[in-house]
Structure 1
Amino acid sequence: MLVVDDDDVIRQLIEVNLTLEGFEVATAVDGQDCLDKVETVRPDVITLDVMMPRLDGWVTATRLRDQDATRHIKVVLITARAQEYDKRRGMGIGVDAYLTKPFDPAELIQVVRDLAGAPRD
């Protein structure tokens, strides 16, 4: 599990909730940090903020989907961008789930559980 968010509080909130549910969690502070860590962490699921410095979530998700080595990783976008256009954009990239901030931690945990247990097509 890799949690990617530039906001320390949000990143820690997600990390703590997932750790309490038994997930092994690594963190990254932005999209570039995510791409740098993904090969060593080898996550099954990545939670990914959209609006981040250096490399945003849109570009990061696209790069993850474009590479054979990371194409299989489940991606959950977690963002304040709640417009239908944004959701369609995320699904067009191929993300597996889209949650808007503020999010319900129980919903996030359920989404991650579902994705971690289901093979990607």
Structure 2
Amino acid sequence: MSVKPYIIIAEDEDALSTLLQYNLEKEGYEIGIAADGEDALMMIDERLPDLLVCDWMMPKVSGIEVTRRLRVQPETRNLPIVMLTARSEETDRIRGLDTGADDYVVKPFSMVELIARIRAVLRRIRPGLSEEKVEFGEITVDRLSHRVQRAGRDIHLGPTEYRLLDYLIQHPRRVFSREQLLDAVWGNDVYVEARTVDVHIGRLRKALNNDSDFDPIRTVRSAGYSLDSQA
């Protein structure tokens, strides 16, 4: 099973966040709910989502301030953000986009429109999330057949190694800590030792690499792992 795209919804209206969660889970996304901006920042710090849906007006920390803070951090600088707001004035819209939001949806909105906007943002920023076949360097992951190839050679992976590769190939060149990989691949409700990641990375490396191959999995000292193309 491939890793579901993980979306955090930061919305202080319970009824709306419940409705969003129901509809987005039906579309195959994994959803986390944040009741305010402060909560959203804490959740993002714990586990990096694939996209943030963020209300403009929220208690404690506003959506604009959340966006501003995320854009100055190297880890979250490229996080896709869709802003929800009751403000329809063009100046407000420009301000939201200038702060760093990738798209802007005015309330009231149709769920069909929001889902289409989310898909479009993910497709533009993280093409790997919306494609059945993902390629990076010599590596190809076919999500329909669960087939992995490197330079045309079939690679046989266990389920965990497959999910690890599937996650890394969605975020090429981004460095993930062991904890981030544990949350994304094993889930944050499962207790697994952080060193387990090293074991499965080792297995993934062994399966991907011949002795003569360039190793596409880069170990970043004191930070974690990333999938990199050949220099």
What TM-score do the two structures reach when normalised by structure 1?
Answer: 0.94
Counterpart amino acid of residue 33 in structure 1: D
Structure 1, unmatched stretches of 5+, are: none
| 1:103 aligned counterpart, secondary structure | coil
User: Equivalent residue for 1:119?
Assistant: 125
| 1:118 aligned counterpart, secondary structure | helix
1:42 and 1:117 map into 2 onto residues whose CA distance is 18
Structure 2 residue 45 is matched with structure 1 residue 39: yes
1:49 and 1:81 map into 2 onto residues whose CA distance is 11
2:123 and 2:48 map into 1 onto residues whose CA distance is 16
1:22 and 1:45 map into 2 onto residues whose CA distance is 14
User: Equivalent residue for 1:71?
Assistant: 77
Check conservation: 1:6, 1:52, Cα contact below 8 A.
yes
Match of 1:8 among 14, 19, 38: 14
Shift, 1:117, TM fit: 2.5
User: What's the CA shift string for 1:46-98, capped at 9, x where partnerless?
Assistant: 00001111001110110111111111110000011111111000111111000
Counterpart amino acid of residue 40 in structure 1: E
Counterpart amino acid of residue 111 in structure 2: P
Match of 1:85 among 73, 91, 97: 91
Shift, 1:40, TM fit: 2.2
Shift, 1:15, TM fit: 1.0
1:15 and 1:117 map into 2 onto residues whose CA distance is 20
Shift, 1:39, TM fit: 2.4
Q: Which one has more relative contact order, counting CA pairs under 8 Å at least 6 apart?
A: 1
Match of 1:59 among 53, 60, 65: 65
User: Equivalent residue for 1:94?
Assistant: 100
Higher helix share: 1
Check conservation: 2:56, 2:85, Cα contact below 8 A.
yes
User: What's the CA shift string for 1:6-33, capped at 9, x where partnerless?
Assistant: 0001111111111110001101011110
User: Equivalent residue for 2:30?
Assistant: 24
User: Equivalent residue for 2:55?
Assistant: 49
Structure of larger gyration radius: 2
Check conservation: 2:80, 2:125, Cα contact below 8 A.
no
1:119 and 1:80 map into 2 onto residues whose CA distance is 25
Counterpart amino acid of residue 30 in structure 1: D
CA RMSD, 1 decimal: 1.1
